[in-house]
Chains A and B, each alone.
Chain A
């Protein structure tokens, strides 16, 4: 089991879900307008998308832009904190790994 999004139609906050699609390493992943890139990834069933220096998987840890575990490349921009960036329809997200000794 993995993270999920509360479906808009049963959500007690009574909200709208305007669909959007991003691609992650070339694979289309659906989300809703307003979600963060991390939110789209998590709700799409991915718990990890980056690897630490040893190659071990990482995803979201702090959720508010402090730990830098969730870094992705968005439309060619490296090192974007997925938990802070809102997803835009058509965003091309590629995952990154961190090589030993690399500064970021």
Chain B
């Protein structure tokens, strides 16, 4: 879509439509390109200082890398796309720009106003801008979901994403004797990055047994073939693991990390199909780092703030990527976990329709097809790598559930079981679980899951701690009630910044800025 610059201008009162895209990962970048192609004026912004998102995380400009692409797949296409968008006369690229709030206008048919903080992360001297677009595309991606286990708070225990971000983003390697564990295909690229950087990957552990993984992957094989790019990428990782003789063990998990002030060893165990640890199968493995992920959680605070309805824990979108909120479109991992190619297809469609393009237009037919395949792929991923219900079997009374507040399992369970405090809000206030700096981003799904089991008769779902009755017997990655995503402030803002009135940065004075 990017090569075709035959822009069909869609105007609002003579001016091209203004589309704001939040997030410059695979989904957001594609959305920006498609909106430009449909004739819109585009502001693409990201909290990071470089485009690419998690998948195409770039090395810092100061590294002046000659061959950044060797750490990536699809790099040339990415470079072309980002250069096209960043140099397009109708596009503005805002790096270092964190959206901290969305405000729904009184006139309920317009897109929300976008409140942005621009400047170095968490700095005191950032300036505020407010954008009032005709349409808003949200493409904020996801972060690792990690289930609590004893010792997961020890330094040296990283999310798989952290290891990946450090390796791809600045060439820092988390350790030399590493175990990669959890669930999902993402374990493979993480192991591959560590190997590439010369580390020893001792083993890769997939918690689901071969039967579950194979059932998920082998159902409807044509869908997998259609995701050939992704399948080839995965095959390449598997080959690399084999060459380095890294064991890939199914049905096994890290159930404990141990060490004095840092991780020194991990305890692994075989799991039953529902992830209950099998006694007597424990092994102790000395490590200097552990990378763990059990799936991804979508970054939903902005969609929730915009009033978008959620479905099964993700942003609900129609066939044209419209959310239920007027003027708001969504693409990428916030609508389902399906990997970068699917995120790109969704982004193309979201940007196109946000700019006023017709989703049934002949030229986007292929994109729609790719998007549909991506959705089918997402369903397969979820089926092949579910989170088993037996995981609390590895918890101990003193295992931290909430990392920020250090609320342990014993305290949480007691509060959830006590009829006087068992109501979700009371559990939260009484134990402080989910009230720390991360605002339940890390523990929210686990706390919701544990409380749902512990307090079967507690109050109806209206809070992150409430039982989610739509999934009685099986927890699904990222699935929990919407409410632990409700954060009035999506990104930290300081009081001084809040008090200062929004203005425009000196270099931004001009026709492109929308600050009012």
Contact = CB atoms under 8 A, between A and B. Distances in A.
B430 interface: no
A42 B172 contact: yes
A98 B177 CA distance: 31
Contact of B492 (A47, A79, A98): A79
B197 A61 contact: no
Residue with the highest number of chain A CB atoms closer than 10 Å, among B61, B124, B196: B124
A32 B42 CA distance: 34
B144 interface: yes
Interface in B114-167: 120-124, 143-144, 153, 155-159, 161-166
B65 A13 contact: yes
Contacts of B165: 63-64, 83
B60 interface: yes
Nearest to A68: B437
A37 B59 CA distance: 15
A65 B47 contact: yes
Contacts of B156: 47, 59
B240 to A, nearest CB: 14
A80 interface: yes
B404 interface: yes
Contacts of B285: none
Contact of B122 (A2, A14, A39, A84): A84
Contacts of A32: 62-63
A48 B154 CA distance: 9
Contact of A84 (B47, B68, B176, B289): B47
Contacts of B157: 61
Interface in B159-215: 159, 161-166, 169-177, 196-198
Contacts of A18: 62
Given A13-B67, A13-B68, A64-B161, A81 B170 contact: no
Contacts of B62: 16, 18, 32-34
Contact of B71 (A3, A13, A60, A81): A13
Interface string A56-85: 111111111111110100000101110111
A35 interface: yes
Contacts of B120: 85-86
A18 B63 CA distance: 8
Contacts of B49: 86
Interface of B is mostly: loop
Contact of B441 (A5, A12, A33, A67): A67
B123 A77 contact: yes
B247 interface: no
A90 interface: no
Contact of A68 (B47, B175, B436): B436
A60 B158 CA distance: 7
Contact of B64 (A15, A54, A64, A67): A15
The listed residue with most A CB atoms (<10 A of its CB), out of B123, B155, B288, is: B155
Contacts of B176: 1, 4
A58 B59 contact: no
B47 A63 contact: no
A84 B169 CA distance: 11
B70 interface: yes
A47 B173 contact: no
Contacts, number: 173
A19 B152 CA distance: 34
A86 B60 contact: yes
B158 to A, nearest CB: 6
B405 interface: yes
Contacts of B262: 47-48, 57
Interface in A16-44: 16-18, 32-36, 38-39, 42-43
Given A13-B59, A16-B64, A56-B153, A81 B122 contact: yes
Contacts of A17: 63
A57 B197 CA distance: 27
Contacts of A43: 172
A77 B121 contact: no
B179 to A, nearest CB: 14
A79 B493 CA distance: 11
Nearest to B432: A101
A83 B175 CA distance: 17
Contacts of B423: none
B251 to A, nearest CB: 26
Interface in B61-112: 61-68, 70-71
Nearest to B125: A77
A104 interface: yes
B498 interface: no
Interface string B398-436: 000001111000000000000000000000000000001
B484 to A, nearest CB: 13
Nearest to A72: B122
27 contacts: A1-B175, A1-B176, A3-B173, A5-B171, A6-B172, A6-B198, A14-B67, A15-B65, A33-B60, A33-B62, A34-B59, A39-B170, A47-B156, A52-B403, A52-B406, A53-B406, A57-B155, A61-B158, A61-B442, A62-B162, A63-B165, A64-B143, A67-B441, A81-B122, A83-B162, A84-B47, A104-B437
Given A61-B153, A68-B436, 19 more contacts: A3-B172, A5-B172, A13-B65, A34-B62, A35-B172, A36-B169, A42-B166, A43-B172, A47-B262, A53-B405, A57-B261, A58-B155, A62-B144, A62-B162, A66-B441, A67-B441, A84-B47, A85-B122, A104-B437
Which are the 10 A-B pairs with shortest beta-carbon distances? A63-B162, A34-B60, A34-B62, A84-B121, A68-B437, A48-B155, A14-B66, A33-B62, A15-B65, A47-B155
